[in-house]
Structure 1
Amino acid sequence: MTRYWIRLAVSIGVIFALLWWTDAAKVSEHLMSLHLGWIGISLLAVTGATLSMALRWQLTARALQIQFDYPFALREYYIAQLTNSVLPGGVTGDVARAFRTRHQADLLRASQSVLADRLLGQVAIICVLFVGFSVALMFPLAVDMSVLSWTVVLTLGCGLIAVVALSRFNTAVGRFVSFLLRLQSQTEFLLLGVVSSFCLIFGFYTSTRAVGADIPIESLVTVIPLILCAMIIPLSIGGWGWREGAAAALFPIIGLTSSEGLASSITYGAVVLVATLPVVFAVLWPRITGSHSSKGKASSQ
């Protein structure tokens, strides 16, 4: 419980510090003039990401000989997303997802399916980053991001070499990494990775448009994925704080203000949270249908 309050304090503290560092009045102005059309598109994009990620988890579990249908995968994914959004660390919902899936398999394989799914999602975003900044180095953009591009490309390149080397070791970790690489090389996982990454990135892009920021289109494969990667830092609630800090720091690089970056990130966080609301119906639906069927049986007797 203490960790929860510490991480909540970190998220709130970072956001208040950013409001002080940028311009709270301008951030508020952006948030008060939200374009509802762009918000609707952002909600659709984030929902599309959830739909594709649930399917990816189902296929990942199937590769581990765990069988469950898509409605179960989608319901559990929504529950996990909502839990991750309101509890610290961003993994509590996934731990619960693995625990509930143990009925379809043993807990070890259930946990492996969830971990593999999460890692495949992060790999997809990282691949977009690598390709985006590599292209930015070969074809200079309107804004100079050469230093940032070299830093990202070299860091990710070294990471890729380390991952491939690790997969060569005949250890539990090595075999698991090799399993991830085999999945990532399959067509359906490549397509789902592209779809889910695009939906998440486009969801952030449309959130920036909703606050009135005219963000360059090339940021879809450079700055925005980098901002989303900041959510991986575990010392927060649902990525709040670090994502906003990354947006405030990176937006000036593409010719926008830190205030616009902060407002865009806050809007995106709110959209992600609202997009998890269907979980209420996913949880209550079996009970509602169950109560209706019970009433039907009672009336027929």
Structure 2
Amino acid sequence: MIQIGVALGVMTLLWVGLDGAQALRLLAQADPRWLALAMLALTAQTVLSALRWRITARQLGQTIPMGRAVGEYYLAQVVNQSLPGGVLGDAGRAVRARHQAGLKRAGAAVAIERLAGQVTLFLTLACGALIVTLMPGGLVLPAWVMGLIGAALACGVAMALAVGGAGRLSGRAGRAARDLRAALRVTLLNRRALPAQIGLNLAITAANLAAFAFCARATGTEMAPVAVAVLVPLILLTMILPVTVSGWGLREGAAAGLFPLIGASAQAGMAASLAFGLIFLASTLPGLLVLLMDRRARHLPTRMSPQHLPSTLPAQADP
């Protein structure tokens, strides 16, 4: 796969160019207590994300039990972390949940649930950049970082305008855009769903940012809250680019480039990102258990239902 080759190539360049051995030493000396906190934060974000999906799907006519939602979310995460593209697990989640309301609504619920998380991350980045701009004397962002933030926010606004404008088109594209807008209104802006969506999205984003900050602390770098709000979203947003496997390589490069802004070394940034990637991967391992249980259930013999039983029983032989 091309994405695997790109990930290996980028990681090799970083290892050679940034003294990867030093990053590995920082990783080997990581404080397990902070890593445990990162694991707890990522576990919390998985459970909360499953709840967000459940609430989103409910607004579109699907009823997903909480236990099943958590299991399906773990399974989707382990697939996303293991295969190129980063969305195959979510596609599988939609297919497996299609039976009650159809594939179209199941796919919309999954897509909107993921979109809500990305939007919240963008808004966090915007608020952090605004705080840094209005409160001089703390974190100083060079022009190239402000340019990255501006470009990221501009892409988000452009996508929103594109969806809004596409609704005026005729044909299949226009119908799809209008259906998406209607689904967004029902799932995110509905009075019944809005408070839960706001609370869950803020909690999930906070858990992700905290997990990375805990991994940085474990490898020797303490990040101030403003730095977490500004730099970590930029680092994590590299994971949505479908050019490597789950952001490996790009995430480490971004962390190595941004950590010197808070007085840390590029190697410290690389070590923190490696720790986050490994803890994130470990946090998805329950998905393998879900996969094994599902495969075992499919191979169990099906019990005969009453209608499959013979209508008469053979007569017993006389003794």
Q: Following the alignment from structure 1 to structure 2, what is the Cα–Cα distance between the partners of residues 175 and 283?
A: 33
- The RMSD of aligned alpha carbons is 2.3
Match of 1:163 among 160, 179, 193: 160
For residues 197 and 55 of structure 1, what CA distance do their matches in structure 2 show? 14
Q: Which residue pairs with 1:191 in the alignment?
A: 199
Contact kept? 2:139, 2:226, Cα under 8 Å: no
Q: Kindly indicate whether the alpha-carbon contact (under 8 Å) linking 1:167 and 1:178 is maintained by their aligned counterparts in 2.
A: no
Q: Stretches of 4+ moved more than 6 A in 1? A: none
1:282 aligns with 2:290: yes
Kindly provide the CA deviation profile for residues 217-268 of structure 1, in whole angstroms up to 9, marking residues without a partner as x: 3212100011000111101111111111111111112221110111110110
CA drift at 1:67: 1.3
Matched, 1:87 2:91: no
Instruction: Kindly indicate whether residue 180 of structure 2 is the aligned counterpart of residue 176 of structure 1.
Output: yes
Matched with 1:235 is 243
168-177 or 32-41, which moves further after superposition?
168-177
Structure 1 unaligned runs (5+)?
295-301
Q: Which residue of 1 aligns with 2:30?
A: 34
Partner of 1:298 in structure 2?
A: none
TM-score by length of 1: 0.88
Q: Secondary structure at the match of 1:222?
A: helix
1:254 corresponding residue in structure 2: 262
Q: Flag structure 2 segments of 5+ consecutive residues without an equivalent.
A: 169-173, 304-319
Corresponding residue for residue 208 of structure 2: 200
Aligned residue for 1:214, secondary structure, equals coil
- Of residues 121, 126, 131, the one that matches 2:122 is 126
Quote the residue 2:53 is aligned against.
Answer: 57
By percentage of residues, which structure has more helix? Answer: 1
Contact 1:240 1:269 in 2 (8 A): yes
**Counterpart of 1:297?**
none
Q: Identity rate of aligned residues, in percent?
A: 33
2:77 is equivalent to residue 110 of structure 1: no
Larger Rg: 1 or 2?
2
Which 10-residue stretch deviates more, 139-148 or 184-193?
139-148
Change in CA separation of 1:159 and 1:85 when aligned onto 2, cut-off 3 Å: closer
Q: 1:75–1:283: 8 Å Cα contact kept in structure 2?
A: no
1:162 Cα offset (Å):
5.6
Shift of 1:283: 4.1
User: Which runs of structure 2 are paired with 1:217-232 in the superposition (5 Å)?
Assistant: 217-232=225-240
Letter in 2 for 1:74: V
C-alpha contact 1:134 1:149 (8 A) present in aligned 2: no
Normalising to structure 2: TM-score of the pair?
Answer: 0.83
In the superposition, relative to structure 1, how do residues 155 and 91 fare at CA in structure 2: closer, same or farther (>3 Å)? closer
| 1:66 and 2:59 aligned | no
Aligned amino acid, residue 11 of structure 2: I
The 1:283–1:165 alpha-carbon spacing in structure 2 relative to 1, beyond 3 Å, is: closer
Native 8 Å contact 2:20 2:267 kept in 1: yes
Q: 1:149 aligns with which of 135, 146, 150?
A: 146
- Compute the displacement of 1:279 (Å): 2.2
SS in 1 for 2:248: coil
Cα displacement (A) at 1:140: 2.1
- What amino acid sits opposite 1:266 in the alignment? L
Matched residue SS, 1:75: helix
Q: 1:183: Cα distance to partner?
A: 3.8
**In 2, Cα distance between equivalents of 1:53 and 1:157:** 26
Equivalent residues, number = 287
**Distance between the aligned counterparts of 1:226 and 1:181, measured in 2?**
28
Q: In structure 2, what is the Cα distance between the partners aligned to 1:165 and 1:89?
A: 23
Change (3 A) 1:272 1:158: closer
Cα deviation, residue 277, structure 1: 1.5
